[in-house]
Amino acid sequence: TDLPRSPPAAAEPRHASPAAPRRLREKLRTAARMAGPPAHTAPGSRQQVQGGEGRAEPATGAPPARETRAPFRFDYQRFRRSLRHPVRGRRPSEDPETRARRMKIKEMMKFAWDNYKQYALGKNELRPLTKNGHIGNMFGGLRGATVIDALDTLYIMELEEEFQEAKKWVEKSFDLNVNGEASLFEVNIRYIGGLLATYYLTGEEVFKSKALELGEKLLPAFNTPTGIPRGVINLGRQDTRSLFSPCSGMSWSWGWASAGSSILAEFGTLHLEFLHLSELSGNPVFAEKASTSQLGVMNIRKVLNRVEKPQGLYPNFLSPVTGNWVQHHVSIGGLGDSFYEYLIKSWLMSDKKDSEAKKMYDDALEAIEKHLIKKSAGGLTYIAEWRGGILDHKMGHLACFSGGMIALGAEHAGEERKQHHMDLAAEITNTCHESYARSDTKLGPEAFRFDAGSEAMATRLSERYYILRPEVVESYMYMWRLTHDPKYRQWGWEVVKALEKHCRVEAGFSGIRDVYTTTPTHDNMQQSFFLAETLKYLYLLFCEDDVLSLDDWVFNTEAHPLPVNHTNFKA
């Protein structure tokens, strides 16, 4: 039997849930041990690989020549004029109840920020019970994760004074000269995504320059034989004197990842941000192959299109050395999730020109429908996990983003597929709502199952916790925008009330250890993504559709809005 496991005290990676079945976690550790001797943890034992080892060399063997180009300037004012809607909307008349609910969510954001500022400013997260800050080991010495994650939410909610406080911290205290091991994925979605979004919203140069400087520090992770990046990058030990020469940084695979593999949800969740880094810098190194090296996110697709997909599905672990799958575990939740999200969003962000991304998404969704989507005896539609052909009938909270994703894709499908996919999106979102409705707190567990007579409930003690995750309300927001069915706003308001009742404490918001008790224990962690995602999606649920309109913006997997490329903005 599973013993109760406390939710993690550290900032929580979107995909690497500690509530994964223990058998799987033990297999991951065993595979890592077999692959090589462990060093120290980051978060598990790791395999140490010099960034230059196995690097693809220029075909001639000679160092690539440094390219000289005219200085590039992004025309911000032209970009703003290209937007089809004002960023914060036009504020038509609205019913008082909707406005009151939106104002309540704004108050929650101010409360979360004010307490972070008072007790933890500059640390990565607030510990609201002990009233202090937490740093963690995911960000390689970077600080202020909550600041960067909160910036665009503060701006959209018109919390002007709080936004200026956050901006001042970035200007005066945000130090990129750090030396430590960072998650490529987490730094990209939280820091790069947050800085890019805030630049596009405000035009303030400090956010752009910090994003570009940090983006350069991530490039050595791509120095592998295949160009598939490793999961861990040392932000300090590198040489970026020329973005057109191989960098000498160090990168590793996570020790718990099977046999030194890279993870689908990590290397598949770089595309949106890296294309914008190229857009703002004029430097193609982020998006395309740079000179004769294999840096760049476009190369990732080439590797994925080359490798055979079992039943058309994408397993979660891929070797960055051979470009082959390491094992056949498929999940739309943890380890896989945002790869699929970024395919449809890459197409939308390209103004529907990136046909390769659209085809990859359509083919993947077809395989998911065929092999993973099931209906329970009670009539609930869910997405199972696939382990070498054997289905595991569970769905993680992380997988609940998929209702919104499928609805977003359905908007742009042919007429016959559109209705089918909208129905599917509504069914999955309903199942995720049931996981909330069937708990005593009206908040959902980390994972819920459809076996042994149980439906949409956690059956293991280790899966009962809720850490302020956003995926369910994310789907409510998309479903509201695309259908205007009032139930999605009602469901969102139920979440607001549950957060207020069970997660709000004296000095912030905290996750809880068991959603099935009305007197839950708190985990003493206000996750940065609560401010970036959960509160932003709830706020947008009660806004008019032209606030961060889906015509103009796509949200990265940390809910940071990035603009659709309507045109070329080189000055």
Q: Is 551 a catalytic residue?
A: no
Q: What percent of the chain has pLDDT over 70?
A: 83
CA-closest candidate to residue 350, choices 516, 49, 130, 564: 564
pLDDT beyond 50 at 2: no
Q: Would you give the end-to-end CA distance of the chain in angstroms?
A: 63
More confident residue, 501 or 254: 501
Q: What is the mean pLDDT of residues 202-214?
A: 98
Work out the pLDDT band at 524, boundaries 50, 70, 90.
Answer: very high
pLDDT beyond 50 at 293: no
CA-closest candidate to residue 539, choices 479, 493, 502, 505: 493
Comparing 63-72, 116-125, 303-312, 436-445, the range with the smallest average pLDDT is 63-72
User: Strands of 390-392's sheet, edge to edge?
Assistant: 329-330, 385-387, 390-392
Q: Is 471 a catalytic residue?
A: yes
Q: Which parts are annotated binding residues for Ca(2+)?
A: 557
pLDDT beyond 90 at 76: yes
Model pLDDT for residues 540-561, shown as the tens digit of each residue: 999 999 999 999 999 999 999 9
Work out the pLDDT band at 238, boundaries 50, 70, 90.
Answer: low
Which DSSP letter does residue 55 get?
P
Catalytic one among 149, 186, 354, 523?
186
Question: Would you state the pLDDT for residue 92?
Answer: 77
Question: Would you state the pLDDT for residue 249?
Answer: 54
SS3 sequence, 62-131? CCCCCCCCCCCCECHHHHHHHCCCCCECCCCCCCHHHHHHHHHHHHHHHHHHHHHHHHHCCCCEEECCCC
pLDDT beyond 50 at 48: no
SS3 sequence, 433-459? HHHHHCCCCCCCCCEEECCCCCCCECC
Catalytic one among 181, 273, 337, 558?
337
pLDDT, averaged across the chain: 87
Work out the pLDDT band at 31, boundaries 50, 70, 90.
Answer: very low
User: What amino acid occupies position 461?
Assistant: L
Catalytic one among 279, 471, 533, 546?
471
The pair of three-digit structure tokens given for residue 137, joined into one six-digit string: 């080991």
Work out the pLDDT band at 15, boundaries 50, 70, 90.
Answer: low
More confident residue, 25 or 364: 364
pLDDT beyond 90 at 322: yes
Question: Would you state the pLDDT for residue 13?
Answer: 52
Question: Would you state the pLDDT for residue 69?
Answer: 55
Work out the pLDDT band at 237, boundaries 50, 70, 90.
Answer: low
Question: Would you state the pLDDT for residue 70?
Answer: 61
Q: Angle formed by the axes of helices 337-349 and 402-410, to 10°?
A: 30
H-run or E-run covering 417 = helix 415-437
User: What is the Cα–Cα distance from 529 to 536, expressed in whole angstroms?
Assistant: 10
Question: Would you state the pLDDT for residue 77?
Answer: 95
pLDDT beyond 90 at 334: yes
Q: What is the mean pLDDT of residues 312-318?
A: 97
pLDDT beyond 70 at 359: yes
Question: Would you state the pLDDT for residue 457?
Answer: 98
More confident residue, 244 or 275: 275
Catalytic one among 152, 273, 385, 446?
446
Question: Would you state the pLDDT for residue 258?
Answer: 81
Model pLDDT for residues 272-282, shown as the tens digit of each residue: 999 999 999 99
User: What amino acid occupies position 315?
Assistant: P
Work out the pLDDT band at 533, boundaries 50, 70, 90.
Answer: very high
Domains of the chain: 76-89+96-558 (1.50.10.10)
More confident residue, 529 or 44: 529
pLDDT beyond 70 at 55: no
pLDDT beyond 90 at 413: no
Work out the pLDDT band at 416, boundaries 50, 70, 90.
Answer: confident
pLDDT beyond 50 at 186: yes
Q: Which parts are annotated binding residues?
A: 557
Q: The dihedral of CA 148, 20, 472, 266: what is its sign?
A: positive
Residue 309: count of CB within 10 angstroms of its CB: 15
Model pLDDT for residues 223-233, shown as the tens digit of each residue: 999 999 999 99
Q: What is the mean pLDDT of residues 510-529?
A: 97
Question: Would you state the pLDDT for residue 287?
Answer: 86
Question: Would you state the pLDDT for residue 295?
Answer: 55
- Is-contact 402 343, C-beta < 8 A? no
Diameter of the chain measured on Cα atoms: 69
